[in-house]
Chain A
Amino acid sequence: MFKTIRFKLTVIYSLVILVFSLSLILIFNIYFNNYFRNDPFIEVNTFQTPLGRFRQFNNLNSDEANLIRNYRLNDLRNIQTLSLISVIPITVLSLLIGYYISGVFLKPIDDLRFKIEKLKVERLGERLEKVSDDEVGKLIDSFNDMSVRLKDAFNSQSRFVQDASHELKTPLAIIQLNLDTILDDKNATKIELRDAITNSLKAIKRINKLTEDLLELSIANSFKREEVSLSKLILEQLDILKPEAKRNNVKLIFNNDKKNSKKDYDTKYLVNQYKFGRAIFNLIENGIKYSNEDNGEVTINLKETNNNILIEVIDNGKGFDINEKDMIFERFYQIDKSRSNKGFGLGLSIVKKIIEEHNGAIEVLREDNLTKFIIKLPVL
């Protein structure tokens, strides 16, 4: 109660009124004091002249004057007592009025609080009605905006959890079916047993990869940045991916276009080394997966224009349907669904998220039978 704004406002209002009325009383009393201190006079005559009315006063004799002085003193005391007593009703009244007025001004805030309390998670994003254009109205606007943002975040989170659980169910079904049927089949051959175990292990690997990806996607908050040589970062990823490229018969090519002009040139950039490396890794890995099956080739270009640093990852695979261009970065989207054993649809959505965290942008093009992923980073 004592901590409420309403109480504080009431006290302040009352104090102001009290100080004001006390000052008035004080001035009033001083005035009367001065007035009554003068010798008493008595009016004896009045003349009417063309210039106006004149009144004549005479000094009283001492007895009369004493009598009148006593009366006046008495009156003065009465005024003083009365004005002192009047402070009490003024105080009470100002408290009451102050309480009422602050209540009137604070009511919209109280209403807002009541509405917010009633707002459940399921109704997030519903707009509160704006009653005025004043500060409270602005508060409601901000609240509504925040509510929508929260709802979006909430929805994307829950959609993501749904997607993830959906993706987990298929490998789980594979494991369960393989183990179920092999356990039931008393005459299962060694080969059948082996197949069941191999299938289950593959499914376990899928689950493992998926959980790793999920974890990676959620570590969005750790964000330590340092100056890193981009070409060095790309070369590191290429080193890790070389064996896989070899297995798939894919040639990896890296062009650093400034290398020729200035010998020791190296594009440095402020990045989170782990995350940015992961983004490049995912893009190259993706390129290896989807490049041409006979003479696969993945080219990585590091370029610098006036305003941007460009990293291009280009593969010569059959690409994707241009209509699905925007969907390609969505979680769990897969270029060719039937090639589901080749990985998960999480890779590119992670890349996009990381690039955007670095204030960059990523786009994908289909040109001359090549699929081009282009990362654009602003020059710092």
Chain B
Amino acid sequence: MRLLIIEDEVELANPLKKALEKRGYSVDVETKGDSGLKLALIESYDCIILDLNLPNLDGLEVSKTLRDKNINTPILMLTARVLLENKVDGFNNGADDYLTKPFEFKELLLRIEALIRRSSLNKASVFNVNNLVLDSTTGKVTLENNNINLNSKEYGILYYLLRNKGKFVTTEELLEHVWNREIDIFTQTVKTNIKTLRQKLDPDKKIIKTVKSRGYIIE
């Protein structure tokens, strides 16, 4: 799953990006309101974490513009504005969730997870296919009750396919949602990661199926 953090405090944004990446998310960071908005309009994200006090363009404007342009990506406002009227403003301008600073990282994770779950095809938080279990709230994957260690990209691919269980997912879509914007779109990295993922939990290609050699599906 791919996230966009729009936050002007780099000392907050960078460790947040790192911690989220360790949980299998791909993360882009923007420190200004206008550039964040631009990126959110071009790229497709699964959730946007939006600060409100931003240089150049206020966070409320960012989210309002996104909604006006029919971009329905879940928006979590992460801000120091704690008053009820601030929250009312936030929700009225397109927020799906609102978390005030300072915050617990675990809570933020749960909220992001819940937002993604709500807006996706498959609303489960624990997935079970052929004894392969992925718990999205803890980030743990087990196969026949044995823990499986996946790197963040492998986890990201598996999670994205499970979230869209029953739906055909193209390689481009995987690139868009599991990698951040620094990725070269002609890369073979999806193929390589699918390969290692299969080696770890699906050597017979029973779970992740290839469709016409252009995309993948978990049924």
Contacts and interface: CB of A to CB of B under 8 A. Distances in A.
Q: Do A and B bind each other?
A: yes
A165 B83 CA distance: 11
Given A185-B19, A338-B32, A173 B101 contact: yes
A88 interface: no
A192 B101 contact: no
A196 interface: yes
B21 to A, nearest CB: 11
A170 B102 CA distance: 7
Interface string B73-103: 0000000111100000000000000001111
B195 interface: no
B15 A177 contact: yes
Contacts of B82: 165-166, 169
Contacts of B102: 169, 172-173, 175-177
B18 interface: yes
B42 interface: no
A273 interface: no
Contacts, number: 74
Interface string A307-349: 0000000000000000000000000000011101100000000
Interface in A152-210: 162, 165-167, 169-170, 172-178, 180-181, 184-185, 192, 195-196, 199, 202-203
Interface in B2-51: 8-9, 11-12, 15-16, 18-19, 22, 31-32
Nearest to A162: B83
A127 B138 CA distance: 59
Contacts of A173: 9, 12, 80, 101-103
A172 B55 contact: no
Contact of B100 (A169, A181, A338): A169
Nearest to B100: A169
Contacts of A166: 80-82
B18 A169 contact: no
Interface residues of B, number: 26
A195 B15 contact: yes
A185 B106 CA distance: 12
B19 A181 contact: yes
A184 B105 contact: yes
Interface in A80-132: none
A172 B101 contact: yes
Given A178-B15, A192-B18, A338-B32, A170 B9 contact: yes
Given A176-B104, A336-B55, A169 B31 contact: no
A178 B8 CA distance: 16
Contact of A181 (B18, B32, B53, B56): B18
Contact of B15 (A165, A181, A337, A341): A181
Contact of A202 (B11, B53, B100): B11
Contacts of B11: 174, 178, 199, 202-203, 341
A261 B100 CA distance: 61
Contact of B104 (A172, A175, A180): A180
Contacts of A341: 11
A290 to B, nearest CB: 15
B54 interface: yes
Given A169-B100, A173-B102, A181-B105, A338 B15 contact: no
A338 B31 contact: yes
A177 B80 contact: no
B45 to A, nearest CB: 20
20 contacts: A165-B82, A166-B81, A166-B82, A167-B80, A169-B100, A170-B9, A172-B101, A174-B11, A174-B15, A176-B103, A176-B105, A177-B16, A177-B102, A181-B16, A181-B18, A184-B105, A338-B32, A340-B8, A340-B9, A341-B11
Ordered nearest first, which 6 A-B pairs have the shortest CB separation?
Answer: A173-B101, A337-B55, A169-B80, A181-B19, A173-B102, A172-B102
Given A170-B101, A185-B22, 15 more contacts: A166-B81, A166-B82, A169-B80, A169-B82, A170-B80, A172-B101, A177-B103, A180-B105, A181-B19, A192-B18, A202-B11, A336-B55, A338-B31, A338-B32, A340-B9
Interface of A: 162, 165-167, 169-170, 172-178, 180-181, 184-185, 192, 195-196, 199, 202-203, 336-338, 340-341
